[in-house]
Amino acid sequence: MPVKAAAVYPGSFDPVTNGHLDIFERASKMFDELVVCVFYNPNKHEGMFGVRERVDMLKKATGHIENVRVTSCNGLLNEFCAKEKINFVVRGLRAFSDFEYEFQRALMLKSIDSNLETVFIMTKPEFSYVSSSGVRELAVFGGKVEDMVPRCVADKIKKKFAGGKK
């Protein structure tokens, strides 16, 4: 009998971008279940959207992917994986600089829990310049973000900044 494989794609997703969505769609074909988990990141300042808003946007943006489940967590990734019986972590890469950072994180995670494997997926070239921080900066100054984020996210950003820059 085949083993069911589940993976988690952790991130702050503030906001979710088309690059993230590209990785979700491709990773969902590799695993029986992909759990997209909004994690609280103490190294990041107050975000554009709250955790609940990000979860809601992710649910809308991934609604077309049958085996994706969206949730949130504010603890350690290895503990979340143990609780959910997940052995794979998916990380998206845009550039070599992402790889250096993610490689160090994967090694640290492996040292904490040797059962966890990290799978790196390169985003499509057309999304290689798109980052959540770049989208946030553009949005704050009234820039065009519609080509960088799912429609439901663009609508939420537009609504948030209606009436001027914040």
Separation CA 80–CA 75 (nearest Å):
7
- In three-state form (DSSP H/G/I as H, E/B as E, the rest C), the secondary structure along 51-108 is HHHHHHHHHHHCCCCCCEEEEEECCCHHHHHHHHCCCEEEEEECCHHHHHHHHHHHHH
Residue 32 has which token pair? 């029986």
Residue 165's H or E segment, with its range, is: none
How far is C-alpha 47 from the chain's CA centre? 14
Q: Is 44 a catalytic residue?
A: yes
Q: Is 12 a catalytic residue?
A: no
Q: Is 45 a catalytic residue?
A: no
Is residue 65 within 8 Å of residue 99, measured between CB atoms? Answer: no
- Options 12, 20, 54, 156, the catalytic residue: 20
Q: Is 94 a catalytic residue?
A: yes
Separation CA 58–CA 153 (nearest Å):
9
Cite the active site residues: 20, 44, 94, 132
